[in-house]
């Protein structure tokens, strides 16, 4: 996560790297160009997955995969991110970080670096086994979702010396999530989900956010050719070893395009090279998705379009809370701003390639504890970066935490905000909500939204129809 790339917020993003780093986290018709594009190949649901070497111990009966497979370009993507599972984020699972007793453990990198290995491994294994279980897939299916996006760190991809000419060490990261990841792919197919896998944490870090695995003011990825090559090796491993169970591979999440030309030129070449590698390895069957990298979709106009490129898509993230400028918007302005995005996304899609809103949420502020990084406060309360004299928008009380404290007005606003963003996503190929589950920031949780009534148990239901007209 997360920021909308307005010119102002790009400047904010730049200055942000110098500060204690923060986490960053209308209907139109299909164009002719879109309908001419070949769907990703969803016709081979692959229910058979080798049994997990370790994972859930619960026994279960697999349901029958749906007989009506999802068709890209025709059906709308309605999904959730399985955030905080294979890439830890302090604000999603604060207890995991609090339990270390060490305030300097702020991300998955330091989680591995500053603890006894066996202790850290044990906590991670328990987390991998319990954060998302089969019943989550059952619930997600029951509430009308058809996609999951699974953020994955490169350190969980078990390259051997046959897969890379570079070191296979991921130290200080702790590897071992791969079997749990394979189990997730298996559950996804059992419950008729299509799967988007994204490389959320790249070697060296692609953005410096804790959600890349490493919170750092100097993300190295683009400046170290070996990191880039290793990421390609990871992409190859993924499609060769699990490509038949992955519908779309997003080759990198939120690369820091705001770092300038030296970064973006490497990124663009990486996109081309990873696309070509995937096509060489597995043909056209796996969709390939690209993040706009905070540059705005228009920066990628004419870059990965059919017919030269097959089954490509762009991922745009839609948040309005990571700058004072955005927080200053009234509720009605948040709605109107979202409505406006619809047109720009659809315009991009109609003359380029498929577009998906791959991350968005109901959050109307950045109040969730540690959302901006462990120990970093909320801009909403003027606490971000710890500096004094920042704009204060209000108190966070009643806006985060247990939803038993949320007012009816707040819940109604989140319901309306949910619906408008669903409309925006469905003006293009669809949407993937961030996230299915959080430990305590209920406003970010799809499952808590359903329990609390501000997310409908059928995402096509509308209390606010024609909201943008």
Ligand X SMILES: *[C@@H]1O[C@H](CO)[C@@H](O)[C@H](O)[C@H]1NC(C)=O
Provide the annotated active-site residues: 254, 359
Q: Please tell me the distance from the alpha carbon of residue 11 to that of residue 208, in angstroms, as a whole number.
A: 16
Q: Which residue has the tokens 């896998």?
A: 197
CB 187 within 8 A of CB 137: yes
Q: How far is the CB of 329 from ligand X (least distance, A)?
A: 6
The smaller minimum CB distance to ligand X, of residues 49 and 341, is found at 341
Exposed/middle/buried for residue 36 (C-beta within 10 Å: 0-12, 13-18, 19+): exposed
Q: Please tell me the distance from the alpha carbon of residue 57 to that of residue 190, in angstroms, as a whole number.
A: 17
> Measured at CB, which residue is nearest to ligand X?
401
314 forms bridges with which residues in the sheet?
290, 355
Residue 295 backbone zone (phi > 0: left; psi -120 to 50: alpha; other: beta): alpha
Instruction: Tell me which residue of 288, 96, 318 sits closest to 199, measured CA to CA.
Output: 288
Going by the DSSP 8-state scheme, the letter that residue 403 receives in this structure is G
Q: How far is the CB of 64 from ligand X (least distance, A)?
A: 27
315 forms bridges with which residues in the sheet?
291, 356
Exposed/middle/buried for residue 303 (C-beta within 10 Å: 0-12, 13-18, 19+): middle
The smaller minimum CB distance to ligand X, of residues 160 and 469, is found at 160
Q: Which residue has the tokens 């070449």?
A: 269
The smaller minimum CB distance to ligand X, of residues 51 and 283, is found at 283
Tokens of 166: 């570079």
H helical segments located in 286-385: 324-327, 331-351
CB 276 within 8 A of CB 61: no
151 forms bridges with which residues in the sheet?
198
The smaller minimum CB distance to ligand X, of residues 374 and 448, is found at 448
Q: Please tell me the distance from the alpha carbon of residue 248 to that of residue 290, in angstroms, as a whole number.
A: 10
Q: How far is the CB of 389 from ligand X (least distance, A)?
A: 26
Judged by the rule CB under 6 A, the positions of this chain that interact with ligand X are: 29, 37-38, 54, 160-162, 166-167, 203-204, 220, 224, 226-227, 230, 283-284, 306-307, 310, 333, 336-337, 340, 397, 401-402, 404-405
The smaller minimum CB distance to ligand X, of residues 4 and 356, is found at 4
Report CA torsion sign: 176, 182, 184, 187: negative
Q: How far is the CB of 90 from ligand X (least distance, A)?
A: 18
Q: Please tell me the distance from the alpha carbon of residue 217 to that of residue 208, in angstroms, as a whole number.
A: 6
The smaller minimum CB distance to ligand X, of residues 204 and 293, is found at 204
- Classify each residue of 149-171 as buried b or exposed e, where b means 16 or more C-beta atoms within 10 Å of its C-beta: bbbbbbbbbbbeeebbeeeeebe
The smaller minimum CB distance to ligand X, of residues 52 and 141, is found at 52
249 three-class SS:
strand
The smaller minimum CB distance to ligand X, of residues 21 and 341, is found at 341
The smaller minimum CB distance to ligand X, of residues 54 and 276, is found at 54
With residue 201 as reference, give the H or E element that holds it: strand 194-201
Neighbours of 91 (CB within 10 A): 28
Residues 6+ apart with CB under 8 A from 378: 365, 366, 367, 368, 371, 372, 384, 396
């Amino acid at each position: 996560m997360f920021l909308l790339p307005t010119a102002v917020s790009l400047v904010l993003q730049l200055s942000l790297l110098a500060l204690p780093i923060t986490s960053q986290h209308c209907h139109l018709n299909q164009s002719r160009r879109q309908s001419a594009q070949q769907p990703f190949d969803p016709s081979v649901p692959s229910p058979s997955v080798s049994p997990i070497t370790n994972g859930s111990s619960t026994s279960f009966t697999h349901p029958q995969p749906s007989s009506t497979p999802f068709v890209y370009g025709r059906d709308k993507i309605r999904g959730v991110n399985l955030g905080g599972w294979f890439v830890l984020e302090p604000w999603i699972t604060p207890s995991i970080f609090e339990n270390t007793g060490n305030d300097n453990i702020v991300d998955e990198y330091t989680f591995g670096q500053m603890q006894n290995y066996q202790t850290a491994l044990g906590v991670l294994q328990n987390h991998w086994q319990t954060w998302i279980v089969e019943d989550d897939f059952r619930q997600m299916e029951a509430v009308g979702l058809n996609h999951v996006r699974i953020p994955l760190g490169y350190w969980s991809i078990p390259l051997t010396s046959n897969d890379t000419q570079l070191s296979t060490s991921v130290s200080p990261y702790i590897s071992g999530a791969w079997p749990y990841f394979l189990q997730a792919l298996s559950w996804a197919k059992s419950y008729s989900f299509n799967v988007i896998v994204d490389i959320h944490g790249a070697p060296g870090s692609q953005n410096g956010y804790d959600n890349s695995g490493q919170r750092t003011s100097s993300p190295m990825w683009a400046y170290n050719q070996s990191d880039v090559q290793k990421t390609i090796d990871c992409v190859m491993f993924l499609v060769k070893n699990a490509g038949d169970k992955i519908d779309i591979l997003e080759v990198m999440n939120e690369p820091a395009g705001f770092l300038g030309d030296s970064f973006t030129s490497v990124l663009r070449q990486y996109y081309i090279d990873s696309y070509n590698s995937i096509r060489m390895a597995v043909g056209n069957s796996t969709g390939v998705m690209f993040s706009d990298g905070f540059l705005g979709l228009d920066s990628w106009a004419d870059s990965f379009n059919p017919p030269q490129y097959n089954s490509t898509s762009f991922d745009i993230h839609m948040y309005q809370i990571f700058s004072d400028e955005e927080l200053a918007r009234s509720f009605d302005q948040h709605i109107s701003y979202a409505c406006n995005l619809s047109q720009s996304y659809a315009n991009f899609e109609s003359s380029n390639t498929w577009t998906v809103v791959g991350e968005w949420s109901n959050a109307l502020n950045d109040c969730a504890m540690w959302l901006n990084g462990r120990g970093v406060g909320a801009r909403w309360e003027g606490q971000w970066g710890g500096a004094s004299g920042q704009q204060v928008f209000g108190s966070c009380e009643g806006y985060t935490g247990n939803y038993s404290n949320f007012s009816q007005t707040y819940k109604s606003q989140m319901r309306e905000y949910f619906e408008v963003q669903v409309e925006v996503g469905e003006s293009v190929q669809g949407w993937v909500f961030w996230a299915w589950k959080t430990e305590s920031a209920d406003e970010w949780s799809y499952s808590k939204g359903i329990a609390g009534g501000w997310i409908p148990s059928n995402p096509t239901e509308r209390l606010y129809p024609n909201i943008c007209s």
